[in-house]
Amino acid sequence: MAASHGLTIGYLAERTGLAVSAIRYYEAQGLVEPWRNTGGQRRFHRADLRRLSFIMIAQKFGFTLPEIRDFLKSLPGGRTPTKADWTDLSAAFRSHLDARIETLERLRDNLDGCIGCGCLSLPTCKLYNPDDAAAAKGQGPRYLMGDRPSETVNDGNTLPNDEN
């Protein structure tokens, strides 16, 4: 298939493993921008193979389509992205991945302890989150989200998961 004629949606589906309907959905979401040939058929740039692959990987890492769209906005329109373009996108993506990895590690390491949710249903919650002190830090599982307890227990010792 000549590059000047673009790639068909069927070819993209075959190469990426995505369903044609998924590619159409990504088009509707503004993640890829095909053009129409004189017969009205969608045609894609060869670089869309890489865009679609990036979308697939980012989704597997738990990124939402709006987040992925924001990453892809850094790529140029009207021309095939260069290695430098992809390197810039990768640097931004890496910092977001690092933050997610840190959160996942915290989840893995602390899920069996207090996560600062305010449930106070476990005996240890009286130590880790007395009187739901985590609520002052905001909504949700505060300690899992990165907040650290700053209170001390009545005997003056720091809490077990407090970093010193």
Each residue's pLDDT tens digit, 88-132: 989 989 999 999 898 888 888 877 777 777 777 777 777 778 888
Per residue in 63-76, pLDDT tens? 999 999 999 988 88
Going by pLDDT thresholds of 50, 70 and 90, the confidence category of residue 4 is low
Dihedral sign, Cα of residue 60, residue 65, residue 71, residue 75: positive
Going by pLDDT thresholds of 50, 70 and 90, the confidence category of residue 29 is very high
Q: What mean pLDDT, rounded, does the chain reach?
A: 83
Please report the domains of the chain, with CATH numbers, ordered by start residue: 9-110 (1.10.1660.10), 112-151 (no CATH)
In DSSP notation, 92-132 reads HHHHHHHHHHHHHHHHHHHTTS--S-S---STTHHHHSGGG
Give the C-alpha distances (Å, rounded to integers) separating 44 from 17, 74, 122: 16, 19, 56
Rounded CA Rg of the chain? 24
